[in-house]
Structure 1
Amino acid sequence: MRLLHTSDWHVGRSLHGADLLREQEEVLSGLAGVVVAEAVDVVVVAGDVYDRAVPSADATGVLDRVLTRLRDAGAAVVLTPGNHDSARRLAFGAGLMARSGVHVRAATAGLGEPVLVRDEHGEVAVYGLPYLEPEIARHELGVPGARSHEAVLTEAMDRVRADLARRPGTRSVVLAHAFVGGGLPSDSERDIGVGGVDLVPAPVFDGVDYVALGHLHRPQTITPRVRYSGSPLAYSFGEAGQQKQVWVADLDAGGLAGVRAVPLPVPRPLTVLAGTLDELLADPAHAGAEEHFVSARLTDAVRPPDPMRRLQTRFRHCVHLEWAGNAGGADGRSYQERLRGRSDLEVAGEFVGHVRGGVGATDAERELLVRALGAAAREELAR
């Protein structure tokens, strides 16, 4: 049995306001080519199929086309909701889709009921654990004292192991969406816990042949049989240059026989550039980034006027801008030092001049500032 492990598609996500649907459909549709080239039997998607609980019509269209291509390529599909998905919405039509070979495992009550796939060695039980929010799942699972991700996933895995005990000799795969100990996060995941209650030790998943994890966007190996595939695209500039991939896992008669990475294409790379605005606009060394998604870190001593528009004349996919120049201006002093001893009116007047590129407030505008500051002072005294 050959599995393709992927997760965290986040269909419908944007990058600093830039729509990524075209890039997402290109990469995800390409998984059908991997299915054919690698003779994959089952594709597993470990959560965060969509980027939001209520996806756009365009996002649902992308998912529909991608799943159709995977089935046309010959693979069954098992997918589960992550913390970004609405389990109920994702599961709409699950009964009908299962008849076509797309299995959505989104119900907490059914997490101990596997999708059974057969090969020449017998059955493989694929258990899809939906994302389990402790405050909700502890009641659905009948364990009200389970207030952490570790506790609810322990209960879920106990049910998986109990079902496996009734299927002697059956090989097993578990899909789970969680932050497992030893994993390294990226900038683009949504936090799923506070104070460490989200952390799940890897031994919670003992007793199965392969654990296909989702949630962390960096591909990584926790143990040889417990792995994150990572997201198929980079969703933050902290992931720039990161090789995205899927795992292809083989199960033989005795269980897990081997796992290897298959790299994914990058439709539009992410690049972080740093320098003064003039340097970024003129330096021929940056020519290769002109069609990339660009995050620019400007080092000008004084903030230049209209920098994003000017950057986009060369880097049309520049989507993020950070000014890292001297926060206090060209004289080397901090804002606190420059403002010390100045009145509110002087500070407000300087701000007007700053946003206008050196053109200060007129007399009429200064009068308006005086009246506004006076009204604010009176309101503060009245509190």
Structure 2
Amino acid sequence: MRILHTSDWHIGRTFHGNSTMDALAEVLGALVAQVRESDIDVVIVAGDVFDSATPAGPAYRLLGDTLLALHETGARVIVTSGNHDSAARLGFQARLLRDGIHVMTDPLSVGMPVTLDDADGPVHFYGVPYLEPAVVRQYWPEVPLRSQAQTMAHAMNLVRAGMAEHGGRSVAIAHCFAAGVDATVGLEREVRQGGLDVVPLSVFDGPDYVALGHIHGRQALSERVRYAGAPLHYSFGEQHKERGSWLIDLDATGLASVEWLALPVPRRLVTLTGTLDEILADENVAAHVGDWVCAVYTDALPQAEPMRRLKERFPHCAMVQHTPVGGPEQEERSYSARLKSAVTDTERIEAFLEHVRAGQGASERESELIREVLNERVVAEALV
């Protein structure tokens, strides 16, 4: 059986205020062509299909067009929900979809596979949607679910119970932050929001292959546990990362081979650093006039209308930063650095409090209140 592992489409996301819909449609069209050319049997989309719990109409149209195009290749499609998706909205039409398209968003169904057959027999696909502990602990009150690690461990225990019942080959699909991820790949802001921890790699023992989503760069945590990453660049921090999908071959005994299939990049991303005049030099313009540009200018003083001047030369300049050499005070630089390096909302709030209180962070009681408020927000957004 040939399987294509993709994830994190984020349909509807903007890039510094610019729509990515046309670019993503182009990339997903290329993915459909790869499915046809490589005789793919099953396409896995491991969560974050949409960028929002309330997608706009064009986002639904692009998803519908892509699912239809994949179906027409003869491939079966299995989709799970991620933290950006509304599981209810993504899953409500699951029973209405045509044969061969499966949307798996129900936490109570993680141990019940979608079973597809090839010449060597059945392959069981176990879909684990994004599981927010505060939301799903109501389904399993007998199990302590205070963290993502505990919640995913319980879900994978249910998967292994399903594997024992059904036998044969198996593939698990999940959306989480697994231990061993390279932090330079460009992590999602929500990856550890509200103090959620990482999931140990051992949690995923058992299946022949584990298709993960949540991280926007490809990652091979082991031969059989991988992230495919997003099919499109969604930030300048991702600009040097390849976009694509994993092509998985299963034989009669399990995982046979894994191959990377690269996807085209509709518009390259580049960061240009130097004085504003250096960035605007003819050679830079000639090399990057068609690229998305992040300009980091190092002049000692702020320059007049830098974005206007940059856009006159680089029509797709999306971001400008003033980073003078030795300019800002060290305290301000350290505050900016703390904000830039913060992964969770809690860390951002802590950095802000330390900044405005001359180094004094949140008290123990304040930290508790911050966590409570953030967790309440996560629950509210998950139930949308």
- Structure 1 segment 308-323 matched on structure 2, within 5 A: 308-323=307-322
Call closer, same or farther: CA 1:103–1:217 in 2, change over 3 Å. Answer: same
Runs of 4+ residues over 4 Å off in structure 1: 333-336
Q: Distance in 1 between matches of 2:142 and 2:276?
A: 58
Q: Distance in 2 between matches of 1:326 and 1:304?
A: 14
Q: Distance in 2 between matches of 1:43 and 1:10?
A: 17
- Structure 1 segment 94-105 matched on structure 2, within 5 A: 94-97=94-97, 99-105=98-104
CA contact (8 A) 2:299 2:324 kept: yes
Secondary structure of the residue that 1:295 maps to in structure 2? strand
Residue aligning to 1:148: 147
Residue aligning to 1:177: 175
Secondary structure of the residue that 2:189 maps to in structure 1? coil
CA contact (8 A) 2:191 2:214 kept: no
Residue aligning to 1:351: none
Q: Distance in 2 between matches of 1:61 and 1:309?
A: 34
Residue aligning to 1:359: none
Per-residue CA deviations over 1:286-316 (Å, capped at 9, x if unaligned) read 4221111110001122211111011001111
Secondary structure of the residue that 2:170 maps to in structure 1? strand
Q: Distance in 1 between matches of 2:329 and 2:137?
A: 51
Code of the residue aligned with 2:71 in structure 1: it is: R
Residue aligning to 1:381: none
Q: CA RMSD in A?
A: 1.7
Deviation at residue 195 of structure 1 after TM alignment: 8.1
- Structure 1 segment 216-227 matched on structure 2, within 5 A: 216-227=215-226
Is structure 2 residue 297 aligned with structure 1 residue 260? Answer: no
- Structure 1 segment 1-383 matched on structure 2, within 5 A: 1-97=1-97, 99-168=98-167, 170-185=168-183, 186-187=185-186, 189-193=188-192, 197-325=196-324, 328=327, 334=329
**Between Structure 1 and Structure 2, how many residues are aligned?**
330
Secondary structure of the residue that 1:24 maps to in structure 2? helix
- TM-score, length basis structure 1: 0.83
Deviation at residue 278 of structure 1 after TM alignment: 1.8
Per-residue CA deviations over 1:96-152 (Å, capped at 9, x if unaligned) read 11x331100001111111111100111000111000001111222334521111111
Code of the residue aligned with 1:34 in structure 2: it is: Q
Code of the residue aligned with 2:180 in structure 1: it is: G
Unaligned runs of 5+ in 1: 337-383
Identical pairs, percent:
46
Call closer, same or farther: CA 1:221–1:334 in 2, change over 3 Å. Answer: closer
Q: Distance in 1 between matches of 2:81 and 2:117?
A: 24
CA contact (8 A) 1:184 1:218 kept: no
CA contact (8 A) 1:184 1:216 kept: no
Q: Distance in 2 between matches of 1:215 and 1:208?
A: 19
Call closer, same or farther: CA 1:129–1:334 in 2, change over 3 Å. Answer: closer
Per-residue CA deviations over 1:140-176 (Å, capped at 9, x if unaligned) read 23345211111111111111111111123x1100100
Structure label with greater radius of gyration: 1
Bigger RCO (CA 8 Å, 6+ sep)? 2
Secondary structure of the residue that 2:202 maps to in structure 1? helix
Unaligned runs of 5+ in 2: 332-384
Code of the residue aligned with 1:305 in structure 2: it is: A
CA contact (8 A) 2:186 2:217 kept: no
CA contact (8 A) 1:188 1:236 kept: no
